[in-house]
Amino acid sequence: MTDPIFSNAPSGVKYRKAAEVYPFLEAYIVKKENEIDDIEQMVQRYEKRRQAEERAYQAMSSLRRLLSGKKPDHHLAVEYIHYVKKPLEKIRSLRQEIEHARRILNSSSPSDVVPVNEEMMEV
């Protein structure tokens, strides 16, 4: 007999006993937190570079500013989306994954059956 929980599982999600998953969850959480740190550092480097470019532009004489030009605003907007907005969305999703893993770790008993991404089991 098939259990409806297992037969209607979305692709990429498997159901396992919580006791089987516990050893992998701590490593998974640490891996995701390191990913978040790396992304935050990338965003900070971009913002620092942008500030340095802006300071250098403002420090130029008005004639040099006129000749060198400045990046168009729409270029800056695209850079912002690429280097700040999308990475921050990725951080948000990673934090949700970490919260889900912590929920499994803290609130389930070892005999419970919990949904697990394949990525959690690869760590």
Please write the tens of the pLDDT for every residue from 23-65: 888 899 999 999 999 999 999 999 999 999 999 999 999 888 8
pLDDT exceeds 80 at position 110: no
Which pLDDT does position 70 carry in this prediction? Answer: 81
- For residue 7, pLDDT over 50 is answered with no
Model confidence pTM above 0.85: no
Q: Which of 89, 92, 82, 88 is nearest to 50 (CA)?
A: 82
Phi and psi at 117, nearest 5°, equal -70, 155
What is the rounded end-to-end Cα distance, in angstroms, of the chain? 32
Q: Tokens at residue 95, please?
A: 């934090």
Confidence check: pLDDT of 14 > 90: no
Nearest to 14 by CA among 114, 86, 99, 107: 114
Q: Quick one: what percent of the chain has pLDDT higher than 70? A: 87
Question: pLDDT at position 13, please?
Answer: 73
Provide the 10 A C-beta neighbour count for residue 116: 23
